Structure 1
Amino acid sequence: MAFKLPQILGSYEQRGAYRNQKEAFLAFLGYSVGLGNFWRFPYLCAKYDGATFLIPYFAALVVIGLPLYFLELALGQYLSIGPTHLFCFISPGFCGVGWAMVLVMMLETIYYNIGIAWTLFFTANSFREHLPWELNSTENHYNAAASYFNQTVLGERQPETEINLLLLLSLAVASYLLALAIARGVWYMGKVLYITIGVAYIILPVLLVASYVKSDGTGWWDSMKEYLRVDSIKLLEGNIWCEAATQVMYTLGLAHGGLHTLASYNTFRHNFLRDTVLLVLLDTATSILCTIVVFSSLASIGQELPEDKQELANLLFIVFPALLSKIDAQPWPVIVFCMIFFFGFNSQMIMVETITTALFDQFRVLRHCYVPVVVGTCTALFLMGIPLCMRGGIRFFQCLDKNITAHSFLFLGLCEVIVAGYVYGFHNLMDIIRNRMKVPVCPLWYWYFRVMYMFVTPLFLLACLIFSWLYRDGSCGSWEVFGVIVALYPFIIVVVGVGYAVIRNWNKGLASLLEPTQDFCPEYERRERAASPKTYELQVTTTL
């Protein structure tokens, strides 16, 4: 005779979800479109003579952008879990990759937040009757704006260790606005994105028209033609191809963990291939539009591109104040800086959401303390951003930006492609996408992804990664040692993850490190396994 003895397991916490496909699409768009489009892309186009940069950028989109975007959406949607557990499930030996993504994103979030604080600083001062960067200046609009940004915003006039209190206040407001937007959950973030994205895309074309109206029409067109020229000699330089690759990774949010997190809230059979194509195209179009707006604004104020590299990096926060002082009409300054704020705020929301999701996935009990965890995370990021509010904080900002974008994301993207294409296997990946998730992948797309994942993408990423280290310029000055540590940060985390996996799986054999675990399955299967009672047969001998 056999009796069934049930073993009831703990409950499996339900994740959040989007209310509809529109909010899901807006979340991805808000994450991808940010200060990377409005600040870094125009800067790189200016650095490499306008349209010259577009050629390697479009090539990097085809080789890196589309394949990695598709891959990250596929893995996140299939498993419905963040990057920290995702890579543990697909290959325990690469468990450190997901944590490296989240921890590197945490560093990125620190300096990204100060960019949002700068926009708030300008927004607050735009409410004045007279813009402060045009009050006591006999210089032209551009020089007046540059002087204001360097001396007042960055605090070059203050002592070395003194904190710019107004900038600190702006950083605090930016941090707790993030907490307020995220604390209500994924569904509430969708409502916020309707406003922030809508406003940004309405103002951009209007700003382009305003720059034309305030300029000499003939001079405006001549300047724009100058920015559209191509210097074929520069295409032979390795730097332009490496920076194009890093810009694609940066602006699309690849190898950050954010796309995995956003996709984890999708429905299981959502057509993410369609979203991938549309989002990559929209992001690219936005980058080009932002660049045209920046360059046309320079033309309208009669200013040539600055030659100083640091001034180029600060282009966004000098050009628009200069243009607005020339327009000299309220409420334009407030509207424009709100637009820039919304661009950055959208991306920052998802970045912080990725960090908190990693905490909730690792420590499920924290899901019952959602709001305190979100507020605590934003507070920690605020505290870590305080050094950026001091004089010289811009050098810290540039050091973080340079070393994270130049090395970290290339390495993590390479690891991701190797795991999916070689460790798990391309055919296995396409099987779950086509047969289990029912995403229509036609033969043309199939062969495109096969060629990319198996050959072109890993080789291109490896070449860019090697080049970025061989030709590292060491421009961080006194911050160089710190910069090297930041650059090596993801490498160290991945290696530590390998060591941890070896120790934990020693009895199972090293081959198990490269095999998916039983948890590499859709969330509903993990939920059913956790909720269903396990039974054991107890044999009892009876005599009559």
Structure 2
Amino acid sequence: MNENSGWGSIATFLFAMIGLTIGIGNIWRFSYVFYTNGGGSFFIPYLIAIAVMGIPFLILEYGLGFKFKKSFSKLLYDIDPRFEIVAWALVLFVFIVAIYYMVILSWDFIYLINSFTFGWGNDPSLFFTTNVGGSSNLSGIGSVILPTFIAIIILWALFWLVSNRDVDKGIGRASKVLMPLLFIIMSFILIYSFTLPGFELGLATLLKPNWLALLDVNIWLAAFAQIIFSLSIGQAMVYTYASYLSKESRLIDDVFMVVVANCLYEIFVAIGIFSILGYMSVTSSIPITELISEGTGLIFIVLPEVFAVMGPIGRIIAPLLMLSILFAGFTSSLALFEPLLSSVCDKLNWSRKKGVTVLVIIACVCSLFFSTGISSYLVEIVDTFVNEFGILILIAIQAIIFTRYLDMDEITAVLNENSTIKVGRKWKFVLKYLLPLMLIIMWIIGIYNLIYNVDGFKIGIYLLITLIVIGLSVFFVKVNPKND
């Protein structure tokens, strides 16, 4: 790993880590997951998932990165050369996430430009299908959505400008600017939402507890899944960022700061969004349950309709929300890119600038394949497969490898050295037994859902991704095998 790479200060590292964890999922995924899985009662499995899975694994990744200071692929190779292929498979899956993540950001970029004039017109759904994300109609696979095509190129160019510099001057400086702005924007949206008539309806709808839901195992699995995706645990991003730490750091304390910032952010965003939905329900006489949607439907269809009925203030809220999504997504995309970059540069002895340039070109070309008339449908298919099939099981495998092949007492000593909060036997028990068990259960359920909803087109995409990941993993294992 490049010895010159490193964070200039602990504050810069923390901003980057918060930027890593806070992403698009916090804005459009959490509120829907919270509402559909018991409302206020969801806090119980949510907090337990943080305590059992989120914090323990983040602490492990911080400790491993800080102690070993090497690329993720090199770490697993040094543990046992047989494990190197696991590392490459994981960083490649995470790189695929970066590829389609930038496509989603391109949609948001288009909406940001149109938000000042409400360029989506009276039918945001038609605007999204025609000019942004396309549809699930496979006949559109041969057409290109030009605005999305152009936006992808622009965003990858901006990405290159930030990422090709040393981590402190590139990612670090970007995070120190974008993260405070992100919190300021969302604070304004949250405060303003409380002045809207009907906001109480939105809050009551979101927070109303369903205690019987706690008896449903799927509610608990949803909480654990949310924590995995929200905190980006086990995806080599946290490990890679921590490996750039060169100064003394209160590692465990830092974990808690990042987790608290991430969780407060997504809870406040959910409250703000539901307050706005409550306002729209009251003013339009549409039941709020009909306005609640997930993901792209919420951000690119429902909320633009809300902005239209808000009057002049909607022209302020709309750009701010779209800008906050762009900021959150951009800092997360920087983190998604970093594990493969670090591993490739380490393996091939490339400079950071060369690695960034080559991988950005590859990623940009791949992202452009998502700009066809089935853009959103293709993103949905790839996202489901990569996360529920690839990343989940690889996180479980990591937990098994690290707790059985590394000296956990030595890792514990590194973590506790400067930290106010300490870890010990309970932490090691959770990582060794409880966490892998939960992940494997979730993976089996995910595989069942994939098989249950499969069709010929999806099978083709699944096989293509699998062959690419396996082929490239084998290639990187075989190339320059003696490189140190």
1:178 equivalent to 2:167? Answer no
- CA drift of 1:52 comes to 4.3
Are residues 352 and 470 of structure 1, via their aligned partners in 2, closer, same or farther at CA, if it must alter by over 3 Å?
closer
Choose which of 189, 211, 219 in structure 2 pairs with 1:240: 219
CA distance in 2, matches of 1:348, 1:119: 14
Aligned to 1:458: 436
Letter in 1 for 2:98: T
> In the aligned structure 2, how far is the partner of 1:432 from the partner of 1:234?
41
Return 201-210 or 310-319, whichever deviates more: 310-319
CA distance in 2, matches of 1:452, 1:236: 23
Deviations, residues 264-319 of structure 1 (Å, cap 9, x unaligned): 11025322111111111111111111111221121121154566998655212234
What is the match of residue 346 of structure 2?
361
Alignment partner of 2:301 out of 302, 318, 326: 318
Task: Look up the equivalent residue of 1:326 and give its one-letter code.
Answer: V
Q: Give the equivalent residue in structure 2 for 1:116.
A: 105
Aligned to 1:163, which of 131, 144, 158? 144
Q: Structure 1 stretch 308-317 or stretch 382-391: which is displaced more?
A: 308-317
Taking the aligned partners of 1:494 and 1:22, their CA distance within structure 2 comes to 36
CA distance in 2, matches of 1:65, 1:226: 27
How far has the Cα of 1:112 moved from its partner? 0.7
**How far has the Cα of 1:328 moved from its partner?**
3.8
Which amino acid counterpart does residue 417 of structure 1 have in structure 2?
A
Alpha-carbon distance between aligned partners in 2 of 1:308 and 1:124, rounded to the nearest angstrom: 24
What is the aligned partner in structure 1 of residue 259 from structure 2? 280
Which amino acid is 1:409 matched to? I
Structure 1 unaligned regions, length at least 5? 1-11, 138-143, 506-518, 520-525, 527-544
Judge which range, 327-336 or 55-64, deviates more.
Answer: 327-336
Q: Would the alpha carbon gap of residues 62 and 120 (structure 1) be closer, same or farther in structure 2, given more than 3 Å must change?
A: same
Give the drift of 1:449: 0.7
Instruction: Pick from 197, 204, 208 the counterpart of residue 225 of structure 1.
Output: 204
Instruction: Report the Cα distance in structure 2 between the residues aligned to 1:274 and 1:409, rounded to whole angstroms.
Output: 27
Is 1:98 the equivalent of 2:87? Answer: yes
Q: What is aligned with 1:141? A: none
RMSD: 3.1
Deviations 1:317-373 (A, max 9, x none): 234323332334344433332121001001111222332212211112x21xx3343
| Structure 2 portions without partners, runs of 5+ | none
Superposition map of 1:116-265 within 5 A: 116-127=105-116, 130-134=117-121, 137=122, 144-156=123-135, 159-188=140-169, 189-213=171-195, 215-216=196-197, 219-265=198-244
Aligned partner of 2:444: which letter? I
Amino acid at match of 2:120: W
Distance 1:107 1:205, change over 3 A: same
Q: Distance in 1 between matches of 2:21 and 2:58?
A: 10
How has the CA–CA distance of structure 1 residues 393 and 474 changed in structure 2, closer, same or farther, with 3 Å as cutoff?
Answer: farther
Q: Which whole-Å CA distance do the structure 1 matches of 2:346 and 2:365 have between them?
A: 24
User: Given residue 100 of structure 1, which amino acid in structure 2 is its aligned partner?
Assistant: A
- Indicate the residue corresponding to 1:412 in structure 2: 394
Q: Which moved more, 1:72-81 or 1:294-303?
A: 294-303
| Residue 382 of structure 1 pairs with residue 364 of structure 2 | yes
3-state SS, counterpart of residue 132 of structure 1: coil
Paired AA for residue 348 in structure 1 = S
Greater helix proportion? 2
**Does the aligned pair in 1 maintain the 2:72–2:240 contact within 8 Å?**
yes
Aligned-residue offset at 1:470: 3.8
Question: Contact 2:231–2:259 at 8 Å: present in 1 too?
Answer: yes
Q: Does 1:327 align with 2:310?
A: yes
Partner of 1:51: 40
Shift of 1:68: 0.8
- State whether residues 246 and 405 of structure 1, in contact with CA within 8 Å, keep that contact through their aligned partners in structure 2: no
The one-letter code sitting in structure 1 at the alignment partner of 2:105 is I
Aligned to 1:538: none
Assess, with a 3 A threshold, how the Cα gap between structure 1 residues 491 and 352 changes in structure 2: closer, same or farther.
closer
* Pairing 1:364-513 to 2, within 5 Å after superposition: 364=349, 366-367=350-351, 370-434=352-416, 438-440=417-419, 445-472=423-450, 474-475=452-453, 477-482=455-460, 484-485=462-463
What is the aligned counterpart of 2:63 among 65, 69, 74? 74
Contact persistence 1:298–1:304 (CA under 8 A): no
Change (3 A) 1:439 1:419: farther
Calculate the TM-score normalised by the size of structure 1: 0.79
Cα distance in 1, alignment partners of residues 441 and 202 from structure 2: 35
Distance 2:127 2:44 in 1: 35
Summarize deviations over 1:361-420 as a string: whole Å, max 9, x none. 1112x21xx334323322211111122211122111111111222232321221121112
CA contact (8 A) 1:406 1:468 kept: yes
| Letter aligned with residue 459 of structure 1 | L
2:321 corresponds in structure 1 to: 336
Residue 114 of structure 1 and its aligned partner are, at CA, apart by: 0.8
Of structures 1 and 2, the larger Rg is shown by 1
SS in 2 for 1:397: helix
Q: Residues 486, 44 of structure 1: CA spacing in aligned structure 2 closer, same or farther, 3 A cutoff?
A: farther
Are the aligned partners of 2:24 and 2:329 in contact in 1 as well (CA < 8 Å)?
A: yes
* 1:346 maps to 2:324: no
Q: 68-77 or 409-418, which moves further after superposition? A: 409-418
